[in-house]
């Protein structure tokens, strides 16, 4: 299997505090990988280093054999990194369908100004069809014309996923998709995600608090604590691992 994402020796300090210490993380194509750890473990920092919103002090992020170096976020996105946000980020004052159309248009290129001015910039029927397909996949077809502001949080997250999907990512980074959702909503989201992932075959890196979601969704899990990778292996083993449980639950022995 082809290694898709290779983050090697990532180290990042914030005014003397080591948020990440020599973390190495690898995602193989089509794989579903979890990244868990207690609050303050450095999950978000690692996530941001991979996405390019933060620059690591040392170490490198390699996507599909290309060292991303200091590429800005949007260039990384074009190379196949999609993401969702922990605090939902949608484009206000659009409908669900328009939302995806923006992403679809970006996927095709930057759009030359002269094309816009000559009236070539309006959405084509081909683009509209592609977006409708993604909406269908997410089960959002009924909401296509709804303004984005009227959606529930769970639906909003799905739109975020859809927006990322339209750009045709090879790696989807999900940032705590369960935050703000209840158990039932989380399960529904996990089911939809799993289905789409099977169909499209992209790789997923899931940063999550909710251990149940990670257990249900991922094949392999990395565990971070105090900026260090303390364990990494098949998700089932990780969930049973004593060190992992200690990091998560403290030294208390809690039977589950």
- Least separation in angstroms between CB 6 and another protein: 21
Distance CA 129, CA 119 (A): 20
Using rule CB under 8 A, residue 55 touches another protein: no
- Token readout for 183 is 């158990």
Distance CA 231, CA 69 (A): 26
Using CA of residue 133, residue 161, residue 105, residue 75, what is the dihedral sign?
negative
Select from 9, 111, 139, 234 the one that contacts another protein (CB under 8 A). 111
Using rule CB under 8 A, residue 14 touches another protein: no
Reduce the secondary structure of 213-254 to three states and give it as a string: HHHHHCCEEEEEECCEEEEEEEHHHHHHCHHHHHHHHCCCCC
- Least separation in angstroms between CB 82 and another protein: 7
Report the half-sphere exposure of 123 (CA within 13 A, side-chain side). Answer: 19
Which of 119, 255 has the CB closer to another protein? 119
- Least separation in angstroms between CB 233 and another protein: 29
Distance CA 201, CA 206 (A): 15
Which of 74, 183 has the CB closer to another protein? 74
Segment 202 to 231, residues that bind another protein, using CB under 8 A:
none
Bridge partners, 32 (sequence order) = 204
Which of 97, 238 has the CB closer to another protein? 97
Distance CA 66, CA 49 (A): 16
Identify which of 207, 198, 152 has the alpha carbon closest to the alpha carbon of residue 177. 207
- Contact of 223 with 206, CB cutoff 8 Å: no
Which of 35, 238 has the CB closer to another protein? 35
Length of the chain: 256
Report the half-sphere exposure of 160 (CA within 13 A, side-chain side). Answer: 23
- Token readout for 57 is 């002090």
Distance CA 172, CA 71 (A): 18
Which of 110, 251 has the CB closer to another protein? 110
- Least separation in angstroms between CB 252 and another protein: 31
- Least separation in angstroms between CB 96 and another protein: 11
Which of 101, 207 has the CB closer to another protein? 101
Using rule CB under 8 A, residue 200 touches another protein: no
Which of 99, 245 has the CB closer to another protein? 99
Segment 74 to 103, residues that bind another protein, using CB under 8 A:
74-75, 77-78, 82-83, 85, 89-95, 101-103
The footprint of another protein (CB under 8 A) covers: 51, 53, 72-75, 77-78, 82-83, 85, 89-95, 101-103, 105-107, 110-111, 113, 115-122, 145, 147-150, 160, 163-164, 166-167
């Amino acid at each position: 299997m082809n290694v898709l994402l290779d983050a090697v020796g990532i180290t990042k300090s914030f005014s003397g505090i080591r948020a990440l210490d020599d973390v190495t993380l690898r995602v193989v194509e089509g794989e579903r990988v979890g990244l868990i750890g207690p609050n303050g473990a450095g999950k978000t920092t690692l996530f941001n280093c991979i996405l390019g919103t933060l620059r690591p002090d040392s170490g490198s992020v390699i996507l599909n054999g290309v060292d991303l170096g200091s590429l800005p976020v949007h260039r990384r996105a074009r190379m196949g990194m999609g993401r969702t946000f922990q605090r939902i980020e949608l484009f206000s004052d659009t409908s669900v369908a328009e939302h995806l159309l923006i992403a679809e248009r970006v996927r095709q290129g930057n759009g030359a100004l002269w094309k816009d001015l000559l009236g070539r910039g309006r959405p084509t029927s081909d683009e509209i069809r592609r977006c409708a397909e993604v909406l269908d996949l997410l089960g959002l077809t009924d909401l296509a014309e709804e303004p984005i502001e009227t959606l529930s949080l769970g639906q909003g997250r799905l739109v975020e996923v859809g927006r990322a999907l339209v750009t045709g990512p090879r790696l989807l980074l999900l940032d705590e998709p369960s935050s703000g959702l209840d158990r039932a909503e989380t399960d529904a989201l996990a089911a939809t995600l799993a289905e789409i992932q099977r169909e499209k075959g992209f790789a997923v890196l899931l940063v999550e608090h909710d251990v149940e979601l990670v257990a249900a969704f991922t094949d392999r899990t990395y565990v971070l604590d105090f900026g260090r990778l303390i364990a990494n292996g098949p998700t089932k083993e990780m969930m049973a691992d004593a060190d992992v449980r200690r990091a998560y639950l403290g030294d208390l022995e809690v039977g589950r």
